[in-house]
Structure 1
Amino acid sequence: MRFNYEELCNIDCPDWYDEDEYTIIGSDDEHVPQLRLPRRAKRDIVLNDNVGVLDSGLVELINNLDLNSKIPGSGKLKSGVWRRKTTSLSKPNNKPTGPAPANLSHEPEIFLSLRQSLAKSISTKLETLEKDNAERVQEVKNEKERIRKEQQRIEEEQKRRAEEQARIKREEAERQRQKAEMEREQQLEEQRRKEEEQKRLQEERKKQEAIEKKLKAQEEAKKVFGLTDFRKVEDTFKHYKHKIKGIKSEIVEPVKKDANLKSILSKHKRRINPKFGQLTNSEQHLVAISSELSLLVDETKANHLGYQWILNFIAKALVSQAETEVRVKPESALPLGKLALNLLARYPELLDFLMARFVKKCPLVIGFTCNIDSEEGRYKMGWKRAQNDSWEEETSYDERMGGIATLFSVITRLPLPPDIISSQVHPLPIAHSWQMLARFANTPTDLLTNTHFVVLGSWWDAAAAQFVQAYRTQAHKLLRLITNELTNAVAERKYVGAARLRILSEDYETSGTLKSFPEMSA
């Protein structure tokens, strides 16, 4: 008997097959293919008693097929029930009978071959299925492991980001807190500083008013030389020395602590400092430099501390320029003095800083004199230490004092700019020159040094002509007093400065005219 594999493996059979005409082996559980063994087709049925029963050997072989070892599943294969729709011999035979199987004795060998083929095919398919299934299971496991690791990585990344965000928020909150605390402290400090500054300004204003009142009284009493109250002169000296200390503690040091303000002021300083060395004998150039300096100073007005710092720097720069350039070229004091006067007229607060610097470097401008036998005395009189820690040479000291006195004298004799002369009072009027000369004349002879006469000679070159125009007869008297009587009092000391002052006086007496610095060109 021949069998088709598809027919045996649960493939749809032709319509002319009757389900009672084939035997089903196996179960449809877990998608296990059923084995169908077709019986003879209806058209081949032979109606006799022998064809209705299978050979016992064939039945035994089929029943011995152990397909459970090759097919997955929990139950055993259901044994096929061999049914055949028999036809009773007593009934008439309506169909033609075919020939009986010719060789039934060979059916066991055929089924043995069939079983072996089926077993091999099923085994191969099952091995393939098991291999594919194992690979699929491993892929699923790998994918699950990858997903698990990716999820773990994402969770760790989210956790790290959350921690980083929390840390950033904490740091930002701390910065905001510190910033608020600093701002509050700065506000308190600024308020305290303003109160102290206001109090200090009130005190200085009172002192300045007292000094101005005294100077005014002296100016009104030009004819009276009188005796100088040197205790008051010393009080004025101490006032400006105290001012220098206050500048350091209340302006310079606070600016050093404020990095931002210090940086801004340093840039202003680098732009301002060269201007003083760029002055020439040209009025037009002087106006340009004055405008540039005014713009730079105005930029600092919004910050009171920075404004004071820049005014103090300008005062230092003016006096320093007098120490270096004016000492060797006295006529350069004229453009420098005009620049200083323009700034003093525009910024009245500059006067206190400038006078403090003048007095610190050259206290003779206010007529202060002390004994220089001690280190303290020399420091008070503006002496400097050399690089080897010894005191500077007397010649160098005299030249420095002469340069500073020249600038001071020029400022006192210059008129205010025409546009403000009727609306403002001169910050350093010619009365300061009168005051200096009168105090020199009343200085005890034992305190007079060559420096006093060097300063008087520098003043003569810078302001004597304008002094005579201002005070006329009284000026002549005072000039004779310092050039004759004062120089005679120290004649035995052979001071070079005193000798030069006498020569200047004799030239004036002979010619009747006083020479002055050449006026600036347009």
Structure 2
Amino acid sequence: MTPGRELTPAVDSDMHEIANMLSHFQMQHKETEQKERAAFERRNADLWEGIEKAVRDAETRAEHEAEQLAAARKRQEQAKADAKKARELEMARIAEEKKAAEERKAAEAAAQRARAEQDKAEEVFNTMRGGEHVWPQAAREYAHWQERMRYVKQDILPQVKANADWRKQCFAAKRAITPKIGQLTNERQQIQRVTTEVAAILTQARSVPDKHASTVLYYWMLNHLAKSLIRQAEQEVAARQETAFPLARTALGLMLLGHDTLGEVLMARLVKKCPFVLAYVPERKAGVDEAAYRKTLGLKVDGEETVHMYATRMTGIAALYFACLQSSLVSVAETISVGANLPALAKHLCAPFRPDRLWTWSVRCTTPPITQQPLLPALWSTFLEVAGPAYLQRFGTQARKLLAMLFHAGIQQQKLAPVTEKEEVSQRNAIKAASVRLRLILESWEQRGNLDEYASGGLCMDS
């Protein structure tokens, strides 16, 4: 349009139409913009709502997990507390049981010490004074050794008898052992040789892989060895007292070489053959006939043995036992070359073969009623001849007091085996002869202060 020129109606109409269109477009645009803004705001609101919901859900889960974790932690802590309490209760129970065991052990030890002190006091007090005798302990020991002998006779021997192979092995050992014991003299080299050879036989039996067979064979051979030693004492020692010493040294040497079970078997057989080694006279129980009781006293069942023969045999067996008690373990250990190990080996020595049994025997044999036993003067003489020097050396003043009492009360006042008219003439004569012998020994001791004049030969080994 040219300036100054007026618009025509057609042009005005177009312009108006264009203006309407623009207005319409603007309104549409504004409406669209409003819709889009509203949609955006809704989406934005939904988005934030989703975010907030996710946050709330996450917080809820976190709270739930925290609660679960706290509960789990609480359960764990409770479990730990329960376990700790259980451990404490268990430890308290164990401690209580240990304390109770220690208290029982202490009480038992105290009771044992009290019994030992009582036994000792009883032994010291009741020597030829008319008080209660000291036989309860001796009776218990006698019953114990009887039981050990029954085990050998009723368990070991029948098994060997029933098994041909075992019987063959045992008889081979018997043929090897018997002559060796019979050849013993008091020479150091021979004692060493015999001890070593017999120990090898016993060790071979003990080394059998079958444990049961080993036990049976070993006990059978120990039993035969014990029988051989005692038989030698009955036959040879009775005639020549000094022959007891090599037998004793061999037996002790075998014990020190690890065959300490020999002590149990040998003591069981000694008590069976001569209960006087315990300074004990078995009581005759109801229902036991004369023959059975005589056997418990070591008497021959056939009755052909004289009083003198019986006394000689009993003192021979007793001499073997006394020789064991008085033998120096140091000397025995040096003979078999185990001197360095002696302290450890001596701990395993069977109790009845320890030197303190010299005192036990002497006290029991100055206590009624065994002091009435006709055989006692002969046994006392054998004791002093075989073990007297060692007895005096070991027990000193106590031994001298006891021997003084034995001499004055036992011999001079005739409280030891008093002779009565009830005994047979042979019995009375045997008691008188043995009492004279004992009197001479004690008179010599009282005058000289030692027993050297009557001590047995063989106390020292020949080189």
> Which residue does the alignment assign to 1:260?
165
Q: How do residues 44-193 of structure 1 correspond to structure 2 at under 5 angstroms?
A: none
Cα distance, 1:235 vs structure 2 = 2.4
> Which residue does the alignment assign to 2:308?
395
Query: Structure 1, residues 262-288: CA drift from partner, whole Å, max 9, x if none?
Result: 101101100110111111121011101
> Does the alignment pair 1:244 with 2:154?
no
Aligned pair in 2 of structure 1 residues 222, 345: CA closer, same or farther (>3 Å)? farther
> Which residue does the alignment assign to 2:41?
none
Structure 1 Cα separation of the partners of residues 342 and 133 of structure 2: 31
Structure 1 Cα separation of the partners of residues 162 and 364 of structure 2: 42
Kept in 2: contact 1:362–1:404 (CA 8 A) = yes
Kept in 2: contact 1:215–1:431 (CA 8 A) = no
Q: Report the 3-state secondary structure (helix = DSSP H, G, I; strand = E; otherwise coil) of the residue aligned with 1:328.
A: coil
Identity of paired residues, percent? 27
Q: Which amino acid aligns with 1:327?
A: A
> Does the alignment pair 1:377 with 2:293?
yes
Aligned pair in 2 of structure 1 residues 492, 306: CA closer, same or farther (>3 Å)? closer
Kept in 2: contact 1:364–1:436 (CA 8 A) = no
Task: Flag structure 2 segments of 5+ consecutive residues without an equivalent.
Answer: 1-108, 127-131, 209-213, 421-427
Alignment length, in residue pairs? 309
Structure 1 Cα separation of the partners of residues 201 and 399 of structure 2: 40
Structure 2 Cα separation of the partners of residues 394 and 508 of structure 1: 28
Aligned pair in 2 of structure 1 residues 492, 275: CA closer, same or farther (>3 Å)? same
> Does the alignment pair 1:362 with 2:274?
yes
Aligned pair in 2 of structure 1 residues 213, 311: CA closer, same or farther (>3 Å)? farther
Structure 2 Cα separation of the partners of residues 288 and 225 of structure 1: 46
Q: Which has the larger radius of gyration?
A: 1
- CA RMSD in angstroms, aligned pairs only: 2.7
> Which residue does the alignment assign to 1:306?
217
Q: Which amino acid aligns with 1:400?
A: R
Kept in 2: contact 1:280–1:335 (CA 8 A) = yes
> Which residue does the alignment assign to 1:327?
238
Q: Which amino acid aligns with 2:373?
A: T
Structure 2 Cα separation of the partners of residues 277 and 497 of structure 1: 29
Structure 1 Cα separation of the partners of residues 113 and 245 of structure 2: 28
> Which residue does the alignment assign to 1:520?
461
> Which residue does the alignment assign to 2:70?
none
> Does the alignment pair 1:430 with 2:355?
yes
> Which residue does the alignment assign to 2:260?
348
Aligned pair in 2 of structure 1 residues 223, 213: CA closer, same or farther (>3 Å)? same
Cα distance, 1:327 vs structure 2 = 0.4
Aligned pair in 2 of structure 1 residues 352, 245: CA closer, same or farther (>3 Å)? same
Aligned pair in 2 of structure 1 residues 333, 313: CA closer, same or farther (>3 Å)? same
Cα distance, 1:232 vs structure 2 = 3.1
The answer to which of 283-292 and 423-432 deviates more is 423-432
Query: Structure 1, residues 487-506: CA drift from partner, whole Å, max 9, x if none?
Result: 32145456221221111000
Q: Which amino acid aligns with 1:421?
A: L
Q: Which amino acid aligns with 2:199?
A: S
Structure 2 Cα separation of the partners of residues 218 and 293 of structure 1: 41
> Which residue does the alignment assign to 1:409?
322
Structure 2 Cα separation of the partners of residues 391 and 216 of structure 1: 43
Cα distance, 1:231 vs structure 2 = 3.0
Structure 2 Cα separation of the partners of residues 215 and 514 of structure 1: 34
1:292 to 194, 197, 222: 197
Structure 2 Cα separation of the partners of residues 218 and 309 of structure 1: 38
Cα distance, 1:214 vs structure 2 = 9.6
Structure 1 Cα separation of the partners of residues 181 and 114 of structure 2: 33
Kept in 2: contact 1:312–1:353 (CA 8 A) = yes
Structure 2 Cα separation of the partners of residues 213 and 325 of structure 1: 42
Kept in 2: contact 1:327–1:402 (CA 8 A) = yes
The answer to which of 242-251 and 353-362 deviates more is 242-251
Structure 1 Cα separation of the partners of residues 155 and 308 of structure 2: 35
Structure 2 Cα separation of the partners of residues 285 and 513 of structure 1: 31
Alignment TM-score, normalising by the size of structure 2: 0.62
Kept in 1: contact 2:123–2:363 (CA 8 A) = no
Kept in 2: contact 1:286–1:339 (CA 8 A) = yes
Aligned pair in 2 of structure 1 residues 513, 482: CA closer, same or farther (>3 Å)? same
Structure 1 Cα separation of the partners of residues 197 and 115 of structure 2: 33
Kept in 1: contact 2:322–2:383 (CA 8 A) = yes
Kept in 1: contact 2:359–2:395 (CA 8 A) = no
> Which residue does the alignment assign to 2:188?
283
Q: Report the 3-state secondary structure (helix = DSSP H, G, I; strand = E; otherwise coil) of the residue aligned with 1:411.
A: helix
Q: Which amino acid aligns with 1:483?
A: F
Higher relative contact order (CA 8 A, sep 6+): 2
Kept in 2: contact 1:223–1:474 (CA 8 A) = no
Cα distance, 1:374 vs structure 2 = 3.5
Higher helix proportion, which one?
2
